[in-house]
């Protein structure tokens, strides 16, 4: 019994010893290793943040000075001693930088630079006062909008580039310890609203040597970069510079940069530089050698940038703003159909009005003889390619087809048939029955084709064989077509404002011509305003045109029935500059109401200047048989041998549009009543408005012709001709 008890006691003792040994072992494993500070000899048992090894040269010198021995590998300094050493070194180091006396110059050597970027602790005190306006200081509020810091409104440190930008553009100094809202900074620079919102609180500012050196260094870099086109710093180029070089404003340029998702910034160029090179190439048409000079890049870099940006824009930007599939049929018909086009040509709200026209892109003569024959245009007598423009009535470019070659098999009618039969961009699904297509006379061979597929086609009338003038009905209907169709010509003009497309395209860029045209059209859709007016009040103009299109030209009937074109005895000449007092007085709005446009009014001054005599008299013919009927002969601006004779009938001196009874001109469109021709408008402009103005009337002064010689003009010689 006793032996059994002793045996159990031994087992319990062995078990207890094992447990105690395990606990002690685990304790020693968990407890961190203790370190003694070689300065204060206090034990540090925390992590690595509570101690620092003596490895830097200033810390080694201070340790050797304190201990009087060489520094060992295992020597460490506690956090408290190191903080004391850092504060002492910062204060004495800063004083030494400002040329103050130091008690230990051997240990505290002079700081080599005032740049605080390399070491934020090395910063001189703010002891220099300069007359510079500055913003308020503080971390709790935005230095621009003064919004306080919160969880929703996080403040950020103002970048150094923004500080230099604000000082250059506004002359306001922002302290580097100030903060602002995130929305004020874009790509490291303050936006336009942030710059205009900067406010100053002081007329003087205390600066340190570090601040001055930093500011001067940044200004030096900015001035150095201003020797070439630098789009990375917005303050270097003005709004006019952006428009002239890229065709976009600063905000539009910054918005387009975000579309270059496939391009990365590197040490030699940024996204902004790449986009600037590409847009400047399109806008100016300069060769790559000149672009490399003004952007301070190599020609090889320019050659790589242009296709990279083109591919990025074609992938990310163009599909959002161009093509039949980027906008629905309903949205297009509702938001891009002008009130005039809707009133003249449509009967339902969901009818779309599209305008077709082909434009020309001139190219170099190719060494490929087959392509040279295909691209040679017999109409223009030069090689070119033809993009087909599909435009809305307000000038919005719906799509661009092609470009097509320019031989006789690729006229406007053939291109229209091809793009519909090939279902380009799924056009057969997008177009609906009874949609309206407005075209010019070049599409005459495709009118039947488009009508067979359910489209309503409107085209100006052709002059019949043997006829010299359109009838009143034909001229009126043609005018309604041109009233809507003019936007496609203006859209083509916008396209040619990008000078690369207006010049002769080199052969090496021929595969990219279609992409260039689409990118420019997408830029116009995104950043340019609409050409046509969407004002609902313009619908009254369409109503007036429809009413006049149903009337007959009474003045034409009067002239033809009484043979006033050939009878000269019934007229007498007068000087309208001083006589003809009973002619009604008109305003410019009255003239636009008569012409139903501004094109004829723009040409009125030039026709009037040529009609004036040397003495400044304006000759008109008054009819004796019919009172208040005038006849005027106007020289054609195209041919020297053509004179246009016109008649204007009025009721007497009434200051209203109704005082003009009618008109008739012998030009091709002179019989129309939906507006008048430019010859009639020039007479109405002078007699009804110009001669009543306070300034002197127009005179036939010297024009550009006085700077050139004319071999047709020969002076008679008074010398006798000696005959042998």
Residue with tokens 């496939």: 262
Task: Give per-residue pLDDT as tens, 66-118.
Answer: 887 888 888 888 888 888 887 776 555 444 433 333 333 333 334 334 444 44
Q: Which of 38-47, 158-167, 331-340, 576-585 has the lowest mean pLDDT?
A: 38-47
Kindly report the pTM of this predicted structure: 0.73
Q: Coil, strand or helix: which one is 437?
A: strand
User: Residue 683, exposed/middle/buried by CB under 10 A (0-12, 13-18, 19+)?
Assistant: buried
**Is residue 104 domain-resident?**
no
Comparison of pLDDT for 387 and 108, the residue scoring more: 387
Residue with tokens 């032996």: 3
pLDDT of residue 568: 78
Residues 372 and 501 reside in one and the same domain:
yes
Which among 79, 35, 42, 85 is positioned nearest to 60, based on CA atoms?
85
Residues 477 and 534 reside in one and the same domain:
yes
Average pLDDT for the chain = 82
**Is residue 181 domain-resident?**
yes
The values of phi and psi at residue 180, to 5°, are: -150, 170
**Is residue 526 domain-resident?**
yes
Residues 183 and 81 reside in one and the same domain:
no
Residues 138 and 216 reside in one and the same domain:
yes
Residues 608 and 690: their CA atoms lie apart, in Å, by 10
Comparison of pLDDT for 668 and 186, the residue scoring more: 668
Which among 159, 246, 483, 509 is positioned nearest to 363, based on CA atoms?
509
Residue ending a domain, choose from 159, 194, 225 = 225
Residues 313 and 622: their CA atoms lie apart, in Å, by 64
Task: Give the single-character DSSP code of 143.
Answer: T
Interacting residues of 664 by C-beta distance below 8 A, sequence separation 6+: 553, 555, 556, 559, 646, 647, 670, 671
**Is residue 485 domain-resident?**
yes
pLDDT of residue 700: 54
Q: How far is CA 132 from its chain centroid?
A: 36
pLDDT of residue 712: 75
Q: Which of 48-57, 73-82, 551-560 has the lowest mean pLDDT?
A: 48-57
Interacting residues of 317 by C-beta distance below 8 A, sequence separation 6+: 256, 259, 519, 522, 526
Which among 374, 380, 384, 358 is positioned nearest to 408, based on CA atoms?
374
Residue ending a domain, choose from 541, 565, 588 = 541
pLDDT, average across residues 176-195? 80
Q: Is the pLDDT reported for residue 653 higher than 50?
A: yes
Residues 149 and 112: their CA atoms lie apart, in Å, by 37
**Is residue 107 domain-resident?**
no
Confidence of residue 1 (pLDDT cuts 50, 70, 90): very low
pLDDT of residue 382: 93
pLDDT of residue 526: 94
Written in H, E and C, the secondary structure of 211-231 is HHHHHHHHHHHHHHHCCCCCC
Confidence of residue 714 (pLDDT cuts 50, 70, 90): low
Residue with tokens 């296709």: 307
**Is residue 289 domain-resident?**
yes
Residues 692 and 583: their CA atoms lie apart, in Å, by 11
pLDDT of residue 116: 41
Residues 42 and 25 reside in one and the same domain:
no
pLDDT of residue 710: 76
Residues 509 and 562 reside in one and the same domain:
no
Q: Rounded to the nearest 5 degrees, what angle is found at the Cα of 263, between the Cα atoms of 503 and 285?
A: 10
pLDDT of residue 32: 47
Confidence of residue 513 (pLDDT cuts 50, 70, 90): very high
Evaluate whether 250 touches 242 at the Cβ level (below 8 Å): yes
pLDDT > 90: percent of the chain: 42
Q: Which of 16-30, 278-292, 479-493, 699-713 has the lowest mean pLDDT?
A: 16-30
Residues 296 and 336 reside in one and the same domain:
no
pLDDT > 70: percent of the chain: 85
Cα of first residue to Cα of last residue in the chain, in angstroms, is 177
Q: Is the pLDDT reported for residue 46 higher than 90?
A: no
Evaluate whether 133 touches 202 at the Cβ level (below 8 Å): yes
Token pair in block for residue 518: 């689409």
Distances (CA, A) of 233 to 157, 174, 473, 582: 19, 17, 61, 65
Q: Is the pLDDT reported for residue 237 higher than 70?
A: yes
Which among 519, 511, 478, 37 is positioned nearest to 248, based on CA atoms?
519
The β-bridge partners of 141 are: 148
pLDDT of residue 485: 93
Q: Is the pLDDT reported for residue 662 higher than 80?
A: yes
Which among 528, 532, 660 is positioned nearest to 593, based on CA atoms?
660
Residue ending a domain, choose from 299, 316, 333 = 316
Task: Give per-residue pLDDT as tens, 620-641.
Answer: 989 888 888 999 999 999 888 8
Query: How many domains is the chain built from?
Result: 6
pLDDT of residue 226: 61
Evaluate whether 344 touches 483 at the Cβ level (below 8 Å): yes
Q: Is the pLDDT reported for residue 120 higher than 60?
A: no
Token pair in block for residue 247: 């065709």
Q: Coil, strand or helix: which one is 262?
A: coil
Residues 699 and 628 reside in one and the same domain:
yes
Domain, as residue range, for 691: 552-704
Q: Which of 73-77, 333-337, 497-501, 560-564 has the lowest mean pLDDT?
A: 73-77
Residues 483 and 370 reside in one and the same domain:
yes
**Is residue 234 domain-resident?**
no
Q: Is the pLDDT reported for residue 187 higher than 90?
A: no
pLDDT of residue 33: 58
Residues in the chain: 724
pLDDT of residue 115: 43
Q: Is the pLDDT reported for residue 223 higher than 90?
A: no
pLDDT of residue 230: 81
Evaluate whether 698 touches 609 at the Cβ level (below 8 Å): yes
Q: Rounded to the nearest 5 degrees, what angle is found at the Cα of 409, between the Cα atoms of 405 and 411?
A: 75
Residues 333 and 469 reside in one and the same domain:
yes
CB atoms within 10 A of CB 635: 15
Beta strands in 54-121 (DSSP E): 76-78
pLDDT of residue 698: 64
Residues 138 and 89 reside in one and the same domain:
no
Residues 588 and 469 reside in one and the same domain:
no
CB atoms within 10 A of CB 652: 10
The values of phi and psi at residue 599, to 5°, are: -60, -45
Token pair in block for residue 634: 């106007």
**Is residue 335 domain-resident?**
yes
Interacting residues of 229 by C-beta distance below 8 A, sequence separation 6+: 237, 245, 276, 280, 294, 295, 296
């Amino acid at each position: 019994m006793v032996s059994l008890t002793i045996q159990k006691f031994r087992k319990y003792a062995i078990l207890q010893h094992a447990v105690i040994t395990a606990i002690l072992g685990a304790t020693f494993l968990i407890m961190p290793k203790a370190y003694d500070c070689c300065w204060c000899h206090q034990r540090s048992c925390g992590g690595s943040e509570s101690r620092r090894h003596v490895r830097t040269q200033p810390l080694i010198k201070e340790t050797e000075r304190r201990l009087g021995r060489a520094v060992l590998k295992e020597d460490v300094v506690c956090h408290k001693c190191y903080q004391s050493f850092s504060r002492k070194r910062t204060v004495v180091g800063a004083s030494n930088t400002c040329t103050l006396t130091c008690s230990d110059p051997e240990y505290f050597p002079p700081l080599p630079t005032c740049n605080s970027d390399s070491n934020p602790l090395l910063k001189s005190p703010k002891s220099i006062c300069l007359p510079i306006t500055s913003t308020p200081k503080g971390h709790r509020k935005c230095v621009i909008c003064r919004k306080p810091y919160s969880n929703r409104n996080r403040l950020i440190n103002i970048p150094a580039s923004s500080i230099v930008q604000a000082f250059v553009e506004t002359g306001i100094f922002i302290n580097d310890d100030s903060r602002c809202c995130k929305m004020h900074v874009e790509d490291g620079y303050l936006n336009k609203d942030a710059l205009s919102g900067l406010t100053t609180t002081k007329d003087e500012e205390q600066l340190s040597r570090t601040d001055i050196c930093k500011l001067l260094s940044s200004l030096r870099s900015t001035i150095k970069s201003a020797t070439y086109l630098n789009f990375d710093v917005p303050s270097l180029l003005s709004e006019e510079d952006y428009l002239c070089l890229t065709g976009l404003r600063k905000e539009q340029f910054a918005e387009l940069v975000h579309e270059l998702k496939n391009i990365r910034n590197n040490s030699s160029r940024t996204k902004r530089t790449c986009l600037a090179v590409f847009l400047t190439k399109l806008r100016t048409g300069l060769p790559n050698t000149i672009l490399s000079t003004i952007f301070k890049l190599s020609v090889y870099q320019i050659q790589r940038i242009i296709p990279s940006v083109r591919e990025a824009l074609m992938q990310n930007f163009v599909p959002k703003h161009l093509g039949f599939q980027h906008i629905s049929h309903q949205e297009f018909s509702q938001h891009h159909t002008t009130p005039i086009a809707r009133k003249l040509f449509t009967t339902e709200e969901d009818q779309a009005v599209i305008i077709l026209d082909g434009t020309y892109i001139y190219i170099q003569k190719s060494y490929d003889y087959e392509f040279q024959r295909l691209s040679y245009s017999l109409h223009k007598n030069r090689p070119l390619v033809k993009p087909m423009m599909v435009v809305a009535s307000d000038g919005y470019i719906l799509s661009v087809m092609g470009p097509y070659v320019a031989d006789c098999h690729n006229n406007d009618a053939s291109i229209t048939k091809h793009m519909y039969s090939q279902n380009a961009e799924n056009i057969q699904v997008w177009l609906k029955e009874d949609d309206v297509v407005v075209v010019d006379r070049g599409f005459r061979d495709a009118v039947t084709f488009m009508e067979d597929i359910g489209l309503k086609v409107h085209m100006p009338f052709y002059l019949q064989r043997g006829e010299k003038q359109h009838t009143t009905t034909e001229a009126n209907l043609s005018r309604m077509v041109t009233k809507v169709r003019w936007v496609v010509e203006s859209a083509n003009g916008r396209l040619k404002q990008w000078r690369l497309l207006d010049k002769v395209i080199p052969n090496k860029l021929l595969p990219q011509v279609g992409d260039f045209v689409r990118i420019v059209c997408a830029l116009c859709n995104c950043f340019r305003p609409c050409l046509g007016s969407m004002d609902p009040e313009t619908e009254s103009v369409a109503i007036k045109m429809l009413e006049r299109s149903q009337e007959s030209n009474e003045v034409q009937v009067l002239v033809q029935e009484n043979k006033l074109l050939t009878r000269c005895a019934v007229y007498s000449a007068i000087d309208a500059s001083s006589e003809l007092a009973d002619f009604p007085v008109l305003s410019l709005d009255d003239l636009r109401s008569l012409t139903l446009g501004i094109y004829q009014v723009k040409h009125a001054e030039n026709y009037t200047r040529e009609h004036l005599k040397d003495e400044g008299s304006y000759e008109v013919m008054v009819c004796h048989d019919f009172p208040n009927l005038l006849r005027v002969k106007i020289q054609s601006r195209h041919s020297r041998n053509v004179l246009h004779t016109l008649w204007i009938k009025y009721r007497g001196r009434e200051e209203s549009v109704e005082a003009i009874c009618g008109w008739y001109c012998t030009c091709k469109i002179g019989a129309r009543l939906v507006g008048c021709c430019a010859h009639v408008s020039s007479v109405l402009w002078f007699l009804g408005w110009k001669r009543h103005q306070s300034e002197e009337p127009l005179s036939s002064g010297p024009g550009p012709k006085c700077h050139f010689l004319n071999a047709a003009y020969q002076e008679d010689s008074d010398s006798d001709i000696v005959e042998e």
